[in-house]
A = this chain, B = another copy of it.
Amino acid sequence: MKVELEKVKPMDIERRSFEIITEELGRELPEDTAPIIKRCIHTSADFDYADNLCFSENAVEKALAAIKAGACIVTDTQMAKAGINKKALAKFGGEVCCFMSDEDVAQAAKEKGTTRATVSMDKAASLKKTLIFAIGNAPTALVRLYELIEEQRIAPELIIGVPVGFVNVVQSKELIMQTDVPYIVARGRKGGSNIAACICNALLYMAGGR
């Protein structure tokens, strides 16, 4: 089979990709959420994100305000941390934290018979910083965030709730959507560290980070 490559300059690949996505979507998306939804599709080639992404009222507006005010992003994987545009975030004074590989977190999780993700959320809660959570892997992180919110021990600016998987993933997202905290959630089983990072980047670029 003869393979024909499309001639697109490196700098134009992303723009061309978004054109194709817009074309194939075949419908208008809300102006504030469109860049996020399209970037998730760009990251996964999965058009399900056009339907499964849920935004609380004015979530994007609130998220952009938080980013511009220098909010830090807490992730539940080193992969999500690696994927977030840290230069863009630094422009606003923010940084990315991930506590999953911390020795004290591993130790506490072992002692309590819980997940490192759960303990990571407790560690984040103790930070007393303005925080956005980007959870792409561990439903237990979302469940713990829900508890911390209910106990009024934490009040995040935004929760990006996009863990992926088969055990308590669906439920953990529903819990977050029952709180008063602004959220962007991929309803259902889908998501991932790549999706968590890409939603952060979409917000950073909307905020003017590049």
Which A153-183 residues have a C-beta within 8 angstroms of B?
164-169, 171-172, 174-175, 178
A192's partner among B9, B43, B190 (CB-CB below 8 A) is: B43
Contact of A8 with B by CB under 8 A: yes
What band does the interface of chain A fall in when counting residues whose beta carbon is under 8 Å from B? 35 or more
Residue-wise, chain A 9-48 has the 8 Å CB interface mask toward B (1 for contact) of 1100100110011000000000000000000001111100
Let me know if B167 and A13 touch, CB within 8 A: yes
A79's partner among B20, B42, B166, B194 (CB-CB below 8 A) is: B194
A3's partner among B21, B165, B171, B191 (CB-CB below 8 A) is: B171
Let me know if B194 and A194 touch, CB within 8 A: yes
Q: Which residues of B contact A143 (CB under 8 A)?
A: 5
Q: Which residues of B contact A78 (CB under 8 A)?
A: 82-83
A10's partner among B1, B5, B46, B115 (CB-CB below 8 A) is: B115
What is the count of identical protomers in the complex?
2
Q: Which residue of B lies closest to A170 (CB)?
A: B3
Q: Which residues of B contact A164 (CB under 8 A)?
A: 43-45
Q: Which residues of B contact A42 (CB under 8 A)?
A: 165-166
Which of A13, A79, A171, A191 has the most chain B CB within a 10 Å cutoff? A79
Let me know if B79 and A171 touch, CB within 8 A: no
A168's partner among B5, B44, B189 (CB-CB below 8 A) is: B5
Let me know if B83 and A193 touch, CB within 8 A: yes
Q: Which residues of B contact A109 (CB under 8 A)?
A: 10
Residue-wise, chain A 70-102 has the 8 Å CB interface mask toward B (1 for contact) of 000000011101110000000000000000000
A45's partner among B6, B43, B166, B171 (CB-CB below 8 A) is: B166
Interface residues of chain A, those whose CB is within 8 Å of chain B, are 1, 3-6, 8-10, 13, 16-17, 20-21, 42-46, 77-79, 81-83, 109, 113-115, 140, 143, 164-169, 171-172, 174-175, 178, 188-194, 197
